[in-house]
Amino acid sequence: MSTALRAGLIGLGSMGRHHARVLAGLDGVELAAVVDPMGDTNGWAQGATVLDTVEELIARGVDYAVVACPTALHEEVGLQLAEAGVSALIEKPLADTVEGARRLVEAFESRDLVAGVGHIERCNPALLSLRSRLENGELGDVYQVVTRRQGPFPHRIADVGVVKDLATHDIDLTGWVTGQEYASIAAHTVSKSGRPHEDMVSAVGQLADGTMVNHLVNWLSPLKERFTSVTGDRGCFIADTLTGDLTFHSNASVATEWEALRAFRGVSEGDMIRYAIPKREPLLVEHELFRDAVRGETSDICTLRQGLRTVEVAASLLESADSGVTVRLMSDSEKIQGPRN
Backbone region of residue 189 per phi and psi (left: phi > 0; alpha: psi in -120 to 50; beta: other values): beta
Task: Quick: pLDDT tens for 84-122.
Answer: 999 999 999 999 999 999 999 999 999 999 999 999 999
Helix (H, G, I), strand (E, B) or coil at 186: strand
Identify whether residues 161 and 216 lie together within a single domain.
yes
Residue 289 domain flag: no
State the pTM of this model. 0.91
| 137, 80: one domain | no
Q: What is the pLDDT of residue 5?
A: 97
Residues 16 and 133 in one domain: no
Please report, for the domain that includes residue 230, its CATH number: 3.30.360.10
pLDDT tens digits for range 218-269 = 999 999 999 999 999 999 999 999 999 999 999 876 555 555 555 555 666 7
User: Is residue 127 located within the same domain as residue 105?
Assistant: no
Structural domains in the chain (count): 2
Between CA 102 and CA 6 the distance in angstroms is 27
Amino acid 160: pLDDT: 82
- For residue 4, the 8-state DSSP code is P
**Within a domain: 230:** yes
Domain extent, residue 180, equals: 122-280+311-328
* Residue 82 burial class via C-beta count within 10 angstroms: exposed 0-12, middle 13-18, buried 19 and up: buried
In this prediction, residue 260 carries a pLDDT of 55
